[in-house]
Amino acid sequence: MSTSTQPFLPPRQRLDDPLARVVLIEPLIPENTGNISRTCVGTGSELHLVGPLGFEITESRVKRAGLDYWPHLALDYHDRFDLWWSKVEANRQSDRVFFVETSGERSIFDVDFRRGDWLVFGKETSGISTEQLAHRPKEAVICLPMPGPVRSLNLANAVAISVFQLMRQVSLGSSTPR
């Protein structure tokens, strides 16, 4: 995935102190990715895209959903899940990785988040695979509680809820919210 063919995307970059690190595994819907990028810019979070993607990153729908915020996005690409996971483990960050999945038994509201935590989301149609979930203990697989008769929320909505819950906790824990 070369940024030379994607002129509207920023170069790969990381933030020094991100609120959260949002990971999308094999996203399929370009508008969701665009909306999630805007949430990341607005909250000072990084976005990590794990391939293969279900769309061309150059699609106008991705650009339109992210509006004119693309130059401000801290973005990184990972060709496959195992390559991303290897980087996380190499940086000794795997203990702060939370998989947000409908099968999670622990509510997002019961997690003690910290600044810089990884929030991982699977593809819109099937979520995070069983093999990928096996990388973390059961208590690190969390869910958004939904008492209504729906299987899941839209990916962009789930990311926004999760990031803002993390931000709420981090802000309450500090004397000067960002």
**CA 37/CA 66 separation, integer angstroms:** 6
Which residues are paired to 95 by β-bridges? Answer: none
Q: What is the pTM of this model?
A: 0.89
Which residues have C-beta within 8 Å of that of residue 74, sequence separation ≥ 6? 10, 13, 14, 15, 18, 40, 45, 46, 47
What is the predicted pLDDT for the residue at 46? 97
Domains of the chain from N-terminus onward: 3-172 (3.40.1280.10)
Of 127, 113, 125, the closest CA to residue 165 belongs to: 113
79-114 as b/e, with b when 16 or more CB fall inside 10 Å?
Answer: eebeebbeebeeeeeeebbbbbbbebeeebeebebe
Axis-axis angle for helices 155-173, 30-43 (nearest 10): 10
| pLDDT reported for residue 1 | 44
Would you write out the chain's pLDDT as a tens digit for each of its 178 residues?
443 344 455 667 788 899 999 999 999 998 899 899 999 999 999 999 999 988 877 657 676 665 677 788 999 999 999 999 999 999 999 999 999 999 999 999 999 999 999 999 999 999 999 999 999 999 999 999 999 998 899 999 999 999 999 999 998 765 444 4
Q: Which residue in 82, 70, 2 sits closest to 35, CA to CA? A: 70
Count Cβ atoms below 10 Å from residue 140 Cβ, excluding itself. 19
Query: Rounded CA gap, 81 and 157, in Å?
Result: 22
